[in-house]
Amino acid sequence: QVQLVESGGGLVQAGGSLRLSCAASGIGFVINVMGWYRQAPGKQRELVATITRGGNTNYADSVKGRFAISRDNAKNTVYLQMNSLKPEDTAVYYCKAERTFPMPVTNSWGQGTQVTVSS
C-alpha cells in the first residue's frame, strides 16, 4: 500500500501563489500517474492536473497557464505550483497516485490539504 502525505496548503490572497507537495511512501512500488484533484464545498471532486512517470502532463482547462505540475521520481514526490490564484480555486486539494507495481494496479489518495483564496 502506498501512503501519500500532502503539504503546502493555506490561505492566500487572489493573485498569489502556493506550492503543494505530495510524497509517496512504501516499499518496493512503482507509481505511474500522479495527480492533483480538488473538491470545493457542495461540488464533486474534479481533476486539476496529472503527470506520468515519463513527464507527460494533463491539465484542467480552468488551471491551464496558471498551474504547473511536476514530479521527482527519485523521491516519489509530486508538486503543484499554483500561480495567479483565484477565489474559485478554493477547495481541498487531494493527491492521487496510481501504483502499477506490484500488481494489481491500485489508486491511493492523500488526506487532502485546504487551499483558500481570498478576494
pLDDT at 26: 86
Model confidence at 35: pLDDT above 90:
yes
> What are the residues facing 72 on neighbouring strands?
77
The pLDDT tens digits for 55-100 are: 999 999 999 999 999 999 999 999 999 999 999 999 999 999 999 8
b/e sequence 29-62, b meaning 16+ C-beta within 10 Å: bebebbbbbbeeeeeeeeebbbbeeeeeeebeee
The C-alpha atoms of residue 31 and residue 72 are separated, in whole angstroms, by 11
DSSP character string of 9-68 = -EEEETT--EEEEEEEE-SS-EEEEEEEEEE-TTS--EEEEEE-TT--EEE-TTTTTTEE
